Structure 1
């Protein structure tokens, strides 16, 4: 197999396709192509490459040159009389010239360079493809690690809240407007913290012009605790505004940024201790 590869890399196949080989070399290439599929495949590939190169670099002849050639063909082929009569034989002294011995060095060097260029291009494309695949895998692994890290941090926060006796868990149930809605929050009067478990929020997803607003009911009066968005892919623990006392909590749907007072007919969940 190494001999076949070495034979291919000599550049003889490129010269064969270009028609720049001796009759013996032509016969040798054809015999090798019959015996070895690798040689036949390489010949086909070189032929396709040269055909593509010729097609992409073809030069359209000018109109003047085309008219001149066609006129010459039609003139000479239409009437044999246009050709000059066969000249009388004149006995000239013939001096035999010594034929210049051609060197195959440059044509083989060119063919070898062409083969090297094709091989280098293929190797470069393959290397780029492998590098891109490796980079895509690295980015995917980084995203996966970041997601895993975020999930671990979230679980740590949840455990901290569940193990802290100062926090009380409260599940706000849906109203007649949205009976299937649920919001779970943790409230610590001692630390004056209110935290919403966004991973367990079940609310219709709000549009870009509206947000949900959390209210604490203190002595029958609503106190603004901030706004949030209901996202189906959210898993975070969202800390709201601080408050020390609350008799109940409610959520309403308000214009983006929140309202000074709750819109009562837009209340979606309510819960009290």
Structure 2
């Protein structure tokens, strides 16, 4: 039994399945297979493994490549038939055909194996490249989300700090008769002179690209320009917007003005107003 095991492990059975052994070696393998069930079972297992490997790593050729190969075979077949017919009609019987050199089958199977491994390697590289591209896209998306979340946290911190600071006076501006649903909240710090608009609670009508909202401070009954801003869109994540500084104010109002703002407010375009 040790001799049979050593014979199986020698590799001769794999070469037998591939057909790369001499006639004497083939006869000996078939004799061993007839005498030993272990040898027959090993040959069957090798054949099954090779069939499974071929099925698993089979690559479907493209339609263009299939057509090219078939056309090449047809052309070569036609050339062979023409050559054979021309040889049979020769009158010179003294010409002796040279024997065709026998090509070692080992190289044929070795070439087939190398070609198979090459195709499998290319397929694996393509899959790996695709997975790397997907991973890079996912990483970029995660980094973008992380930055957006960080910005939102910073904005929320700014809002909380504004409302927690007792130096800020919070004022709610209410809508005018023609804009009853409009509303806006701002905070004014009389010490630092900062004026902050809470953009997340802003409820102003959307405007076209030729106009902007302009904030005004009323000081002694006179309007003072505090800067322009746009109404945020529904999906906006804007937090607070710092406007121009002012030392004192009796009230604040917002009007709709041409892009860039106006020197004086357009009274009939006032949308919200609030007084302390």
CA offsets 1:94-152 (integer angstroms, 9 cap, x no match): 97965532222433233223212211121111111211121122112211211221122
| Contact 2:159 2:239 survives alignment (8 Å) | no
| Contact 2:152 2:237 survives alignment (8 Å) | no
**Uncovered stretches (5+) of structure 1, i.e. residues with no partner:** 1-11, 13-27, 70-85
| Contact 1:167 1:187 survives alignment (8 Å) | yes
Deviation at 1:208, TM superposition (A): 1.5
TM-score, normalised by the number of residues in structure 1: 0.69
2:151 aligns with 150
**Uncovered stretches (5+) of structure 2, i.e. residues with no partner:** 1-17, 19-42, 79-87
| Contact 2:173 2:253 survives alignment (8 Å) | yes
1:49 aligns with 61
**Alignment partner of 1:240 is 2:243:** yes
Secondary structure of the residue aligned to 1:131 is: helix
Between the aligned partners of 2:166 and 2:184, the Cα distance in structure 1 is: 21
| Contact 2:214 2:227 survives alignment (8 Å) | yes
Matches within 5 A, 1:193-212: 193-212=194-213
2:220 aligns with 219
Between the aligned partners of 1:150 and 1:167, the Cα distance in structure 2 is: 23
RMSD: 3.7
Between the aligned partners of 1:179 and 1:125, the Cα distance in structure 2 is: 61
Deviation at 1:58, TM superposition (A): 8.0
Deviation at 1:154, TM superposition (A): 1.4
Further displaced range: 212-221 or 151-160: 151-160
**Alignment partner of 1:38 is 2:52:** yes
Between the aligned partners of 2:257 and 2:246, the Cα distance in structure 1 is: 21
1:257 aligns with 260
Between the aligned partners of 1:95 and 1:225, the Cα distance in structure 2 is: 109
| Contact 2:252 2:274 survives alignment (8 Å) | yes
1:266 aligns with 269
1:101 aligns with 102
| Contact 1:215 1:223 survives alignment (8 Å) | yes
1:24 aligns with none
The total of aligned residue pairs comes to: 221
Inter-CA distance 174–55: structure 2 relative to 1 (3 Å threshold): farther
Secondary structure of the residue aligned to 2:184 is: strand
2:136 aligns with 135
